[in-house]
Amino acid sequence: MKKTLVFISVLFFFFSLSAQRIDYKSKVYDGINYLPLSGVSVYNLNTNTFAFTNDRGEFTIKVQIHDTLVFTKSIYRQHSDVITENTIQYPEDHLLFFQSILLKEVVVYAFNPNYEEFKRELSTIKLPDVYKKIYGAELSDEEKANAVNENPNLLRGTPMESPITALYNVFSKRVKMQQLYYELVEHESEIGKLPSKYNKELVSEVTGLQEPDLMEFMVYCRFSYYDLLKWSPQQIVSAIQSKFNEYEYYKLMQDE
């Protein structure tokens, strides 16, 4: 009789969950470095309602069983989850992963990265007249009158004061951007493979941790995308072990 009553109570509980919407609270993290993601749009397809994650990656939204939540944030792949009895009773954290990004065309400037060589090359280039009309290059009569020294620089304090230095700084940045572009293109296909190189299953196997301690440890690790791209599988395992030793000491210090 008691078993029957318990069974009926459980059925009534799940029926009530499916009949009414409740507040569903959870968190959203970057699926690789486990940083909490703010500003993630959480959209309920069944009710056309949405919520956004806060700075700690937390959100609250009304759901019932069988609702579908869609998680969206720029540069991340869209993710969806169906609400079940289990997810309502034991809310899990949600993970988003980088998507492939199409970069705009990169214009390459073949200026020498060495400053002295850059000046020599630039001295042979005829700049267009429009360069003389840069905003801020004009000086008032008062500013000219206040110029000092035997050979005053009337362009002091304006963009024209040192055009070569200004142009070098601009082109140096573009050279760095060009290098970054090639690096991203080189690793573009690998970014999609990161979830298979580094994930909860691997970390659990190396450390023996289970939820919720597993999630806490992965938030503690926060390896960067760049490191995980460079590391071999063996290096990733070694990094996890090293972090785990550090983590155990950190927990021990907290308990004291």
User: Phi, psi at residue 247, to the nearest 5°?
Assistant: -65, -40
Q: How far is it, in rounded angstroms, from Cα 235 to Cα 241? A: 10
Q: What is the pLDDT of residue 241?
A: 95
Residue percentage of the chain with pLDDT more than 90: 35
Instruction: Tell me the average pLDDT of the chain.
Output: 75
Q: How far is it, in rounded angstroms, from Cα 233 to Cα 226? A: 14
Instruction: Give 56-78 pLDDT, tens digit per residue.
Output: 999 999 999 999 999 999 888 88
User: Is residue 17 helix, strand or coil?
Assistant: helix
What are the sequence ranges of the domains in the chain?
2-96, 115-190, 194-255
2-96 CATH fold: Immunoglobulin-like (2.60.40)
Count other C-beta atoms under 10 Å from residue 29's C-beta: 21
Instruction: Give 75-100 pLDDT, tens digit per residue.
Output: 888 889 999 988 888 888 999 988 75
DSSP bridge partners of 63: 22
Q: What is the DSSP letter of 181?
A: H
Calculate ∠ Cα 195-63-77, nearest 5°.
Answer: 25
Of 42, 64, 38, the closest CA to residue 51 belongs to: 42
Please give the residue that has the higher pLDDT: either 174 or 91: 91
CB 82 within 8 A of CB 67: yes
Sign of the Cα pseudo-torsion (35, 39, 41, 47, in order) = positive
CB 79 within 8 A of CB 70: yes
What is the model's pTM? 0.55
